Structure 1
Amino acid sequence: MSTIFSKIVSGEIPAYKVAESNDYLAFLDVSPLTQGHVLVIPKKETDYIFDIHDDEYMGMWVFAKIVAQGIKNVFPCRKVGVAVVGLEVAHAHIHLIPLNHVDDMNFGRPKLQLPEEEMIKIAEDIREAISEVTNPSKS
């Protein structure tokens, strides 16, 4: 079985990537709840997050923490919220969502439809902010 996320990992489907390592990928949600809504996935396809091997699971959370720091630097917010739902795509993933109000993480509300130029700019800004977080001497 190959999920849409596995196709993004393999390059079959394009994505607005914000961070990538050998084992993990972070990219903008194409139907975000807020600007800066990012998905973090393991490159190895596993349906249920709690079925991931312990080392990979912990590594994904460390990777997500770095991405969240980048998001917070681009989108000033009270917190970057975290959600793991896992019902829509059978590939473990973490939602990172800039929050100013608890309702910002309401998955039942209408999603945003942002123009491609805006998505490209958001992804570039978050990538740059992550680079500053991971390489502070370069800023």
Structure 2
Amino acid sequence: ERAKAGKYKDSSLKEVPEEIRTRFFAFENGFYALDKSIRESIHFRRHDILRDEPFPEMDIVFCRNLAFTYFSKESQVEVLKRIAFSLREEGYLVIGRDEGLPLVYPALFVPAFPEERIYQKFRMNTEG
């Protein structure tokens, strides 16, 4: 519910550069509030990642403390393929800090910010 409200404590954004905070957040009543136009473009949905059809054309997927912690290696590979299918070209996958991706990931993702466990969908070079 806190994420849906788009309001964050100062401590939650301490690692976010000032330029980003001032561009995308307003400080209101002791909280940083995410810009309304951004909040309105975010969709929260319940989704069984192993059974339900993947959502298409996602910009970013947060899959933290679930699939890459508790699922079998085979299920992790299936989840990774489904996420790759769901993401737009060059979209992002964010996993938990203590998680790792299955060894098949280099064919699907490249580390964007490895220390934060943020990966970018691998872009196939289609030029000649």
Q: Identify whether the pair has TM-score above 0.5, normalized to the shorter chain.
A: no
Indicate the structure (1 or 2) with the bigger Cα radius of gyration: 2
Higher normalized helix content (fraction of residues): 1
| TM-score using structure 1 length | 0.25
| Higher RCO (CA-CA < 8 Å; seq separation 6+) | 1
